[in-house]
Amino acid sequence: MVRVKSIQGDYTKKVILVVVDSLMAQAIDKGLGQNELPNFQFLIKNGQYYKGMVSSFPTMSVTIDSSLITGTYPDGHRVPGLTWYSEQEKRLISYGTGPMEAIKLGVDNVLADALVHLNGKHLNPKLPTIYEELGRSGMKSGSINGLIYRGTKDHNLSIPLWMQAPASLPGTIPVKGPDFLTLGSLSDPLKGIQELPDGLTRRMGLNNQHSIKTAQYLIKANQLPDFLYVYLPDLDQKIHKKGLSKLEGIKAVDRQLQTLLQSFGSPKEALDKAIFIIIGDSGMTKILPAPDHPVIELASFFHDYKILRQGESVTEDTEIILAVNETMAYVYNLKSDKLKDIAHLLRADPRIDVISWKEEGWIYAISGGTSKQMRFKPSGTLVDNYQQKWTVEQELEVLDLKSDAKHRSIQYGKYPDVLRRLSGALHSHPGEFLVVTAKPGYELADVNSPTHKGGGGHGAFGQMESLVPLIIIGTDQKPQYLRIVDLKPFILKLLIK
């Protein structure tokens, strides 16, 4: 029997956070204009709608989810990206970017990183998650298919036989999570109670229908916890393949939101009983079609270096390691060459947007295809619109910044909250490395990286990838700032009186 019902009683509003992977305001607005999203229309009419909430960086789901659940950027939560290099373990970490990379890196490593290490040790154990804070306050919480779920309660992931053998994984893996934890067919508290779409062809239950049906059960059975996280992943894959212009994916999300609202009896009853927060995690940029050569092969810049090839072990001879996150990459330098020398190899390509590194307390950034350079560091006399203080020198146009010495202010242009987000990525894990981003229309690649020619991609920190919609219904309150890192304190404020 599932027992996760709020101990606060039926008369306190629950908070339901719906995270729609790659939901963009442009798609919502287009669908509203064509009268094809009646449920988004209802929610926006009865709530607050913001189009410019700033995501984390890199704009990859695993890092963004970590920022959402902990309320910090990667320098706090320590999950640098979907792919990154661990100096301590001397290997590339990947949580699963595609079948070819999984094969090259080793299926056992990819699955162990995603299922065991991500929540178990990579996510900063000293940093409390929203589930841990709610648990310590005597409140109930739940995660439906969330990537980051560490909490205070014991659960077991059940590993199917076909996955155990190639991955050298045990049949069950103990994990810590919220009171209610669903992770597709790997953790299914409703097994034997509710029939769910969780077969191999349905991505082991990591799909929208599985998430909605699970939430629907909790609502109808009067078992809602105080806080419920619901992850809807399907839209992301549709945009990756078909690009940004198609509305089929968001129309499906609209119908699924209707199912969620009707589970309460009616949309009006839903708003009486719960606060709904609906967000995207990142946007996407359109990747140019194949004839326009949109893929930047990073290895081609380092002919004179010994690059770690996927599947190989790091040796004393290894000089460069590439960790690609679609339109962003970490480039690790294991030898004595200065990072700025390696950066200058990359800057010749005009398809590359920004190359950045840290050096002696400063963060340096240069533009691809130009000779422009700037540097910055935390603290100083310039204050941004998030009340963060900075010292900024040289050519500010590299990061599209404008400063006002008279008012001691700094404004962001096409890279939202870029100083804090770039600093967060560069201080997210030990090592000597560059952060590299591609210009809109292009994506970075290593030998077996998945590419999305003619489709959509994310990873970098431009507006298209960084600004996501936020819809709040059931309360007049809003976060202090419109950033994903500000959602955790906002939700805690709604729940803990």
pTM of the model: 0.93
In a domain? residue 362: yes
* Within-domain flag for 149: yes
Are residues 465 and 433 both part of a single domain? no
List of residues 6+ apart from 173 with CB closer than 8 A: 115, 116, 156, 157, 159
Tell me the residue range of the domain where 128 lies.
Answer: 14-79+123-284+460-495
Burial 265-294 (b: 16+ CB within 10 A, else e): eebeebbebbbbbbbbbbbbbbbbeeeeeb
For residues 222 and 265, membership in a common domain is answered with yes
Residue (of 229, 302, 255, 243) closest to 488 by Cα position? 229
89 in a domain, yes or no? no
Do the strands 141-144 and 14-20 form a parallel or antiparallel pair, or are they unpaired? unpaired
pLDDT recorded at residue 452: 80
Within-domain flag for 112: no
pLDDT at 171: 81
Residue 99 has pLDDT above 50, yes or no: no
Measured between alpha carbons, how far is 84 from 104 in angstroms, rounded to an integer?
15
The Cα–Cα gap between 465 and 457 comes to 8
pLDDT, one tens digit per residue, over 409-448 is 999 999 999 999 999 999 999 999 999 999 999 999 987 7
pLDDT average, residue stretch 21-48? 95
Question: Same structural domain for residues 275 and 130?
Answer: yes
Mean pLDDT of 44-61: 97
Q: Is the bond into 58 cis (omega within 30 degrees of 0)?
A: yes
Q: What is the pLDDT of residues 224-275, one digit of tens each?
A: 999 999 999 988 776 656 656 678 889 999 999 999 999 999 999 999 999 9
Bridge partners, residue 49, by sequence = 471
Mean pLDDT of the chain: 90
**Same domain, yes or no: 308 and 431:** yes
Q: What is the pLDDT of residue 76?
A: 98
Looking at the structure, tell me whether residues 181 and 224 fall in a common domain: yes
Note the pLDDT tens digit of each residue in 462-490.
999 999 999 999 999 999 999 999 999 99
For the chain, the farthest-separated pair of C-alpha atoms sits apart, in whole angstroms, at 67
Confidence bin at 191 (pLDDT 50/70/90): confident
**Confidence class for position 116, pLDDT limits 50, 70, 90:** confident
CATH at 24: 3.40.720.10
- Same domain? 329 vs 384: yes
276 shares its domain with 410:
no
Residue 395 lies in a domain: yes
| Residue 105 counted as domain residue | no
Count up the domains in the chain and report the number.
Answer: 2
pLDDT, tens digit, 9 for 90 and up, residues 362-372: 999 999 999 99
User: Are 153 and 244 within one domain?
Assistant: yes
For range 109-116, the mean pLDDT: 82
DSSP code for 405: T
Distance set, CA 200 to CA 95, 184, 209, 219 (Å): 18, 10, 14, 27
Residue, of 154 and 110, whose pLDDT is higher = 154
> Which is nearest to 210 in space by CA: 191, 181, 184?
184
Token couple for 345: 């190899």
Which of 453, 468, 484 delimits the end of a domain?
453
Tell me, yes or no, whether 131 and 263 share the same domain.
Answer: yes
Residue 27 lies in a domain: yes
pLDDT of residue 100: 43
Please check whether residues 240 and 322 belong to one and the same domain: no
Work out the pLDDT band at 60, boundaries 50, 70, 90: very high
179 and 54 within one domain? yes
Whether residue 133 is contained in a domain is answered as yes
- The SS3 assignment for 118 reads helix
Task: For residues 50 and 198, state if they share a domain.
Answer: yes
